[in-house]
């Protein structure tokens, strides 16, 4: 896992939270611009992080949950019984 992008995303969300509070309290032109800029940065970082996660998932074999496998075994045994 790339901690750099993850940590940067968290820091950006925290900075957005502060700017949004400032916008809610004062509604200044500058605080609105900064809040929107941070939202754009969050969107960009989220896309980068999503791509990283998808790359890791593409390398791993697909596995089913134990609950899914168990339900398939029940279905298989029901078919065999008939």
Higher local confidence (pLDDT), 41 or 78? 41
Domain boundaries, the chain: 3-81
Q: For residue 29, what are its two tokens?
A: 């032109």
Count Cβ neighbours within 10 Å for each residue of 14-43 and write b for 16 or more, e otherwise.
ebbeebbebbeeeeeeebeebbeebeebee
Half-sphere exposure of 68 toward its Cβ, with a 13 Å CA cutoff?
4
- When pLDDT is cut at 50, 70 and 90, the band that residue 60 belongs to is confident
Q: Are 5 and 52 in contact (CB under 8 A)?
A: yes
Percent of the chain scoring above 70 in pLDDT: 91
pLDDT digits (tens, 9 = 90+) for 1-31: 567 999 999 999 999 999 999 999 999 999 9
pLDDT at 28: 94
Residue 67 is predicted with a pLDDT of 76
Instruction: Decide: 9 and 49 in contact? Cβ < 8 Å.
Output: yes
């Amino acid at each position: 896992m790339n901690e750099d992008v993850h940590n940067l995303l968290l820091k950006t969300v925290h900075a957005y939270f502060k700017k949004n509070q400032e916008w809610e309290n004062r509604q200044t032109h500058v605080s609105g611009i900064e809040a929107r800029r941070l939202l754009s940065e969050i969107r960009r970082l989220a896309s980068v992080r999503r791509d990283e996660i998808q790359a890791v998932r593409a390398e791993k074999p697909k596995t089913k949950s134990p609950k899914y496998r168990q339900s398939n075994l029940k279905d298989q045994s029901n078919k065999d019984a008939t």
